[in-house]
Amino acid sequence: MNEQEPLDPLFDMRQDSPDTPPAEPQPTGPQPPEAPRLGILHLLVLTACVAVYMGITQSLERGLGSFGWTGFETGIFRATTRAVQAIGGGAALAGLVLWIARRRRGMRFPVHPGEFLLLLIGTLVAFRLLKFVLAMTIWPFDATGPGWTLFAVILGLAPLAVLGALWLWAVIKIKIRRWRAYLWLLLGANVAPALLGGVWMFAISLYVYAAIRGVVIVALLGVAVLDHGDGKRYPWPHWFGVATKLSFDLIELGSMADFFLLPAVVT
């Protein structure tokens, strides 16, 4: 019997035996850096953003109070609402800081639906704070002049343009149908108050707006539950954005209950 000739290593199938597992293919080209986990630095940034939000809003309240504004009465319910609102507003601002930091490090952000929500809410809060700051600096000195008119036009149109562009970006980038449906619902929920127009001062409009907010909250919770049921895994910024959006919707419902629903029940 002739001796068996050794096989060429290229065709030797014995190399695939369990004792010698095949090497994993190595990626080629530059790889994006891994997304960092939630750490102490993120919590410090969140704390700083909450402090900034509270400082600006409280300065506005004191400034308006000096002009005889009575829309900031004290009370346990409103104090609690303001504290929760400060946490939500600070979280939204922290989302903007996270977006800037990750883009500077070459990371793709936002990617997941909750991250787009975080960017949308952060932009909205940033425009609100800018409006507060300009109101404190322009209103006392130029309440009816051209400066106030320019301020009203810029801060009335600029947020609509920027938020509209961010919303369109989110609709294009997000491929999950349930999340795209939620974004369309969110658009309708924000357009509906404008459509109420002249009847906004009637009581029914407040109940309609509260019902719309309730539908948005239930829809967001439903989408999150469905994602969990499908076994989808998201990084922590996604859930951070979902929680921030829920807090803002709950704050709006709480504000309406404070200014309208609760007095109606008491009387």
Token pair in block for residue 29:
């080209």
Residue 88: what pLDDT? 87
Residue 264: CB atoms within 10 A of its CB come to 11
Cα 255 to Cα 80: distance, rounded to the nearest angstrom: 11
Burial of 153 (0-12, 13-18, 19+ CB in 10 A): exposed
Which residue is it, tokens 């051209």?
A: 146
Whole-angstrom CA distances from 187 to 98, 112, 160, 194, 208 are 24, 18, 12, 12, 16
What is the per-residue pLDDT for 31? 43
Q: Tens digit of pLDDT for each residue in 83-115? A: 888 888 899 999 999 999 998 988 889 999 999
DSSP class of residue 257?
I
Q: What is the pLDDT of residue 76?
A: 66
Q: Give the domain ranges of the chain.
A: 38-246
| Regions of the chain with pLDDT less than 70 | 1-35, 63-78, 138-154, 193-205, 255-267
Answer whether 125's CB lies under 8 Å from 92's CB.
yes
